Structure 1
Amino acid sequence: MFAEERKSKILEIIKSDNSVRVSELSKLFNVSEATIRRDLIELEQAGCIVRTHGGAVSTNSTNFEPSFKEKQDKFLKEKEQIAKKAASLIEDGDTVTIDSGTTTQFISRYITAKGVTVVTNSVNLADELSDREDIEVIVTGGILRTKTKAMVGPLAEEILKQLKVDKLFLGANGVSIKSGVTTPNIVEASTKRAMIEGAKEVYLVVDSSKFDEVNFSLICNVSRIDYIITDKLPKDYEKYEHLGVKFILA
């Protein structure tokens, strides 16, 4: 079988099943896993699929969830700039919740305000702040999701329900006027909602690639967000502003 024919059949399989493993394709086509990985790289470069650890998924899959490692190097410059802007909004004496995520994690590096209390469900962010004697850190506890390094579930939500903070810096995988703010995992979405309920002001911290993306689980409607900190305005930014959402550009 020629390479182009094999890639065409791989694409058909992924579109049919939404995801596939490298090992499965290797056995199916009787070629090495290295050959399959090269095929998947070329299909991803063509915009046909998204590669994952050990396989690939359809670009149309709403429950596709990249791991923390897969996300952390993408849009790195934009994420750092967004995090700097977010950190600059934290004032002396503030109580803030910082959600787990590859963009929100950077916020901890740029906090200059004094007497700040940080609530977080991120093991990475808690570790980053562990040497900061000038910041009080409250870790929610909960079930640790190895894929996102986030602590979620009933235990995390119970702690969050008992706390009222000035500002929440929230991460998400997708945001759109029609479908709201979304993430692939139901349990993680529920924990994020608990964060929102305890915050006076909600800042959604997302790079511009997240606009018009829709994932499986709804976190909240766009109108529940007070500010969106991002690197570039979406095309329909006026619709967001009509709902009372303000944009802060990094």
Structure 2
Amino acid sequence: MNQEERLIRILNYLEIHKTMNIKQMCEIFDISRDTARRDIVELTNQKMVVRTHGGVALPSFHKKIDDYRDRLRTESETKKLIGKKAASMITDNEMIYLDVSTTVNFIAQFLKARQVTIVTNSIDSAYVLAQSEDTTIHFLGGTLNKSTRHVTGFSAIEKLKDYHFNKVFIGAAGIMEDGIYYGLEEDIYFKRELIKHADQVILLTDHTKHNHRQNYRGLTFESIDTIITNKSMPNNLYKSIEEHGVEVLITDTE
């Protein structure tokens, strides 16, 4: 196992257990203490972890993935405009999927199309949509993630295979020239399965995600049909997106 693979597994372990000491690293990965220390140095330099006495831990406030409620407040007006634009793309009688993204959640507030069937794993989207008489809601099963207010896990991924969507609306933790990034490993497997069952994949992202890298590259631009954002992309990013024929829609900020 090379260092990159080991670092990913260390981060996965920390997502569950929060802390990890050198002895555990040595036993789990069958490595020397010197190798474990080099891994700690690398993760610390990347600001993925903080050092503790004898090991590492996740930062008290994870700078890579903000608390869900904080993300919902951040750039909320911008996200509303993006969500409103996305909602206008939905037509009557479509089958769509709404991701757990805080930006995607705003679609539910502005949905005007009638007799739409919506599949989601977001508690907040399902709650808002439940107020509408013109929608049929399918809620994926799985394990509840209390902090992000959505269900996840193997059963949620498997259930996706029962559907075919006219459109899916997804978010991102970051966008780089080589694709779409997410903060958790499980996100990439979910997104990759999701896009297999869609006619059109629409990515919603505000400008804070432009040229921003996260832990895992989940999708390439070949998987995306349309990007809705609030500001023009940086030249390097736009060039890469344009090469893949992705449509970019910029919201009216007035």
TM-score scaled by length of structure 2: 0.74
1:1-250 pair list within 5 angstroms: 15=45, 18-20=48-50, 55-56=60-61, 64-178=64-178, 180-236=179-235, 237-250=238-251
CA contact (8 A) 1:96 1:119 kept: yes
Structure 1 contact 144–150 (Cα < 8 Å) conserved:
yes
Q: Partners of 1:83 and 1:92 in 2: how far apart? A: 17
Q: Distance in 2 between matches of 1:116 and 1:139?
A: 14
Q: Structure 1 residues 232, 158: CA separation in 2 closer, same or farther (over 3 Å shift)?
A: same
SS in 1 for 2:194: helix
Q: Distance in 2 between matches of 1:87 and 1:16?
A: 37
Do the aligned residues in 2 keep the contact of 1:176 with 1:212 (CA within 8 Å)? yes
Whole-angstrom distance in 2 between the partners of 1:228 and 1:17: 29
Letter in structure 1 aligned against 2:145: R
Runs of 5+ unmatched residues, structure 2:
1-43, 53-57
Q: 1:185 to 1:75 in 2, by over 3 A?
A: same
1:93 shift after superposition: 0.9
Give the match's secondary structure for 2:114. coil
SS in structure 1 at match of 2:200: strand
Letter of the 2:171 counterpart: G
Structure 1 residues 239 and 158: alpha-carbon distance in aligned structure 2, compared to 1, 3 A threshold? same
Partner Cα separation in structure 2 for residue 242 and residue 218 of structure 1: 19
Question: Residues 134 and 16 (structure 1 numbering): CA distance in 2 closer, same or farther, change over 3 Å?
Answer: closer
Counterpart of 1:87, as a letter, is A
CA contact (8 A) 1:174 1:215 kept: yes
Q: Following TM superposition, by how much is the alpha carbon of 1:127 offset from its aligned partner in structure 2, in angstroms?
A: 1.0
Q: Deviations over 1:34-69 (max 9, x none)?
A: xxxxxxxxxxxxxxxxxx9x8345x6xxxx322211
**Alpha-carbon offset, residue 72 of structure 1:** 0.8
How far apart are 1:85 and its partner, in Å?
0.0
Change beyond 3 A, Cα 1:243–1:146: same
The one-letter code matched in structure 1 to 2:198 is: A
Q: Deviations over 1:95-152 (max 9, x none)?
A: 1000002101110000000110111010111111112121000111112222322212
Q: Distance in 1 between matches of 2:150 and 2:95?
A: 20
Structure 1: give runs of 5+ residues left out of the alignment: 1-13, 25-51
Residues of 2 paired with 1:113 and 1:150: CA distance?
A: 24
The match for 1:11 is none
CA distance in 2, matches of 1:72, 1:144: 18
CA RMSD of aligned residues (A): 2.2
SS of the aligned residue for 1:202 comes to strand
SS at match of 1:100: coil
- Looking at structure 2, the residues matched to 153 and 18 of structure 1 have their Cα atoms a distance apart, in angstroms, of 23
Q: Displacement of 1:233 after TM fit?
A: 1.8
TM-score normalised per structure 1: 0.75
Helix, strand or coil for the counterpart of 2:91? coil
